Structure 1
């Protein structure tokens, strides 16, 4: 677990800052849905991957206006949270590396953070 992750919530929020567009958000969501460990959780009804408007952007905020939320469902969600966080960070890093190979220019700056449902 990374520093600051001692209390991992059952949900994971993925945000792209910097040069990111809403197209990048859609592409990353599709990538996450195809990542083997995450895909299996979705297929089994244990995980939902949602795209939603960001709530933290002040007026004039640069970057995408959307974020991705990975929501664990059912009993044992808290027990899977740390593993989901690790898998999501790996998947986002792989997506970013792939994007660097196919698109020139400035790259989005991803943030992957645990979220407790009472913080929403």
Structure 2
């Protein structure tokens, strides 16, 4: 598939509820929501690609997949927008949930990764 991808992982105390809540947050976050609506971005949950046997924590990750000819041009900006959105979600989670928050990781996916 043409395009660039960004991987979002939650470690530490993350639960599957956290992952679902973060995905829903990203889908509503501007300008990500606009890209999804225009068919230029897909946001999906998938099994973690680094999940060795016995891995602790959530076994899923969120993948943001840019689609189309302009994907390379906007991917750096999209990484920063995604990081800001994840930070905002984490701040919101701290206000409404008790306990230790998960540790988020937002990284571009190299072309040779899946």
**TM-score (ref. length: structure 1):** 0.89
2:24 aligned with 1:30: yes
1:77-113: CA deviations, max 9, x gaps? 0001001000000000000000000111111000000
- Alignment correspondent of 1:81: 75
Matching residue of 2:92? 98
The answer to whether residue 11 in structure 2 is matched with residue 20 in structure 1 is no
Q: Does 1:65 align with 2:54?
A: no
1:3 corresponds to: none
Q: Using structure 2 for the length normalisation, give the TM-score.
A: 0.94
> Which residue matches 1:112?
106
1:51–1:67 contact (8 Å) kept in structure 2: yes
Aligned length: 112
Q: Secondary structure at the match of 1:118?
A: coil
Q: Structure 1, residues 54-85: CA drift from partner, whole Å, max 9, x if none?
A: 12122221111100000000001000100100
The answer as to whether partners of 1:17 and 1:63 remain within 8 angstroms in 2 is yes
Q: CA RMSD in A?
A: 1.1
Structure 1, unaligned runs of 5 or more? 1-8
